[in-house]
Amino acid sequence: MERSLVLIKPDAMQRGLAGTITSRLENLGLKLVAMKMLHPDKALAQRHYAIHKDKPFYNSLVNYISSAPIIACVFEGEQAVEAIRKAIGATDPAQAEKGTIRGDFGLDIEKNSVHGSDSTATAEEEIKLFFSQDEMFSY
C-alpha cells in the first residue's frame, strides 16, 4: 500500500471545497489515514517547496501556501500516488481535463486548489513534514 500527501490549498478552502475534494479521493477507493487543518508558516512552506528554490516562482508558491489555512491529508491505497495525480489533473487548470479536481476547481496555475505528491519518494518526505507517525492511522 502506498501513501501520498494531499494539501487542500487556500483557494479551495476559501471556497468550501475541502469536503468535495476529500470525497472525490475517497470515492476512488483511497483510505484517508491522516488529516489536519493548519496555517503553514513560511518555514514549513519553504521546506515543502524546497525543490523549487531556484525557480522564479518559488517565493510566490511559499507566500501563497502560507497565506491562509490549508488541510493536509494522507491517503493510502494501491498505487495511491498515481491515482491521486490522475484525479487532480495537470498543474495548470487550463490544461487539466474536466472531471479532474484542478480542471473543475482550479483558478490558475498557482491557485490550483490542491497539491498531491508526485512520486512515492516525494510522498514519504512530504508526509514527514506535516505528520508524525502517531498522527497516521491504520484501520
Residue written as cell 496555475?
109
Neighbours of 117 (CB within 10 A): 24
Residue 67 phi, psi dihedral angles, 5° rounding: -85, -15
Quickly list DSSP for 81-108.
Answer: HHHHHHHH--SSTTTSPBTBHHHHH--S
CATH of the domain at 65: 3.30.70.141
**CA separation for the pair 122, 61 (Å, rounded):** 17
Q: Tell me which residues are annotated as active site.
A: 115
Report pTM: 0.96
Domain count for the chain, please give it. Answer: 1
The residue segments making up the domain with residue 27 are 2-135
Specify the pLDDT at position 17.
98
% pLDDT > 70, the chain: 100
Tens of pLDDT, residues 50-67: 999 999 999 999 999 999
Tens of pLDDT, residues 77-104: 999 999 999 999 999 999 999 999 999 9
